Amino acid sequence: MGETIFVQSDDRAEDGLKSLSQRAQENIKEKLSREDYAKKACEIWFDVRTFGQVFAFKAGKKDGDKDNESVSVGVRGPVSVHQAVSVSPIEIRSMQITKSVNSEPGDKKSSDTMGMKHSIEFGAYVIYGSINVQLAEKTGFSEQDAEIVKEALRSLFENDSSSARPDGSMEVNKVFWWKHNNKTGQYSSAKVHRSLIVKQKNEGEKPNSFDCFTYEIMPLENLEVETLEGL
């Protein structure tokens, strides 16, 4: 979405740099205090001011500095995301797979031509998260950044296909977004999370689509929730 990202995979690195230490040194070259270093990093990189980051790299030798002078700065991000938990028990399917070629030269087929692949036929997952306003003020995370996170959740699996996640195999169905009217929050995150109830319609049947589940939001006084459809 046009934002600069610090943690980039090698195959999708936009700046051509192959490590986090290189990216840090190329973008923050001046010697700064830990507080100023963290502030500069948050200004440059969206994911640092959003999720936080630990900068613990060797600075190397520069302009007469000592070798292996280290940089150790921690940034606590305001956005936290829980693990995904399935609503109902899942079934893992295992199948044997084969390769038609050898990884190494030889007359006989190597041992790695045979293998196993494990997959889940269907699963519905619920993920919770929150934004800490106090930490957001420290990192510079803004309302605009929050809108970017919201849109990213809607399009989470777009352009992210792989052999483990083929196109169309995963999707975001609903995003529920609560916005409090004060910094500390009208309710605790735990109460807000419990207000969303997702259940399987028929417990004895094997679910195979999102239509096999129902969701209900228990109202919390003076706290509105925005419901967004997945992309």
Whats the size of the chain, residue-wise? 231
Give the list of residues 6+ apart from residue 225 with CB closer than 8 angstroms, or none: 176, 177, 178, 217
Residue 72 Cα to chain centre, angstroms: 23
Domain residue spans of the chain: 10-76, 85-89+124-229
Report the pLDDT value the prediction gives residue 145, as an integer from 0 to 100. Answer: 97
Q: How far is CA 115 from CA 102, 119, 120, in A?
A: 13, 14, 17
DSSP structural state of residue 142: -
Report the pLDDT value the prediction gives residue 213, as an integer from 0 to 100. Answer: 95
DSSP structural state of residue 82: P
Is the sign of the CA dihedral 187, 76, 174, 121 positive or negative? Answer: negative
Residues of the chain with pLDDT under 50: 61-64, 66-68
Report the pLDDT value the prediction gives residue 227, as an integer from 0 to 100. Answer: 95
Report the pLDDT value the prediction gives residue 12, as an integer from 0 to 100. Answer: 80
Q: Is 191 helix (H, G, I), strand (E, B) or coil?
A: helix
Token readout for 92 is 């893992």
- What pTM was computed for the model? 0.82
Alpha helices in the chain (DSSP H): 20-27, 34-44, 46-51, 133-139, 143-154, 189-194
State the CB neighbour count (10 A cutoff) for residue 72.
Answer: 10
Tell me the residue type at 161: S
Asked if 22 contacts 13 with a C-beta cutoff of 8 angstroms, the reply is no
Report the pLDDT value the prediction gives residue 63, as an integer from 0 to 100. Answer: 46
Nearest-angstrom CA–CA distance, 140 and 122:
39
